[in-house]
Amino acid sequence: MATITLKNIPADLHRELKKRAEEHHRSLNREVLATLRNVTNQSRRVKPDELIREARAARKKFKRQVSPAEIKAWIRRGRL
């Protein structure tokens, strides 16, 4: 696997990346990789029809109605 060394990272950018890493329950390195992957995948965006199909498939997995509050709690705990 390749290695990249970043130099002269502005303090505000470093703080923002660290904050995002904490929010996503990731290390700083994993957050940077996820951010780079997200940017490079933008040209391969999911089509709306595919997204709807995936959402419906995920919804079928639940046996009962799930409230928005439950979903938010799961996200905070890193379950989604």
For residue 2, being part of any structural domain is answered with no
Q: Does 40 lie in the same domain as 59?
A: no
pLDDT in tens, 22-61: 999 999 999 999 999 988 876 667 788 988 998 899 888 8
Angle subtended at Cα 36 by Cα 72 and Cα 74, rounded to the nearest 5 degrees: 10
Identify whether 61 is part of a domain. Answer: yes
What is the domain extent for residue 75?
52-80
What is the chain's alpha carbon radius of gyration, rounded to the nearest angstrom? 17
Indicate the pTM of the whole model.
0.52
- Could you tell me the CA-to-CA distances from 33 to 11, 16, 28 in Å, in that order? 19, 14, 9
28 located within any domain:
yes
Single out the residue of 39, 20, 29 nearest to residue 1, CA to CA.
29
**Is there a single domain that holds both residue 39 and residue 58?**
no
pLDDT at 22: 95
Whether residue 16 is found in the same domain as residue 36: yes
Tally of domains within the chain: 2
- 40 falls within a domain: yes
Mean pLDDT of 10-25: 95
Number of residues that make up the chain: 80
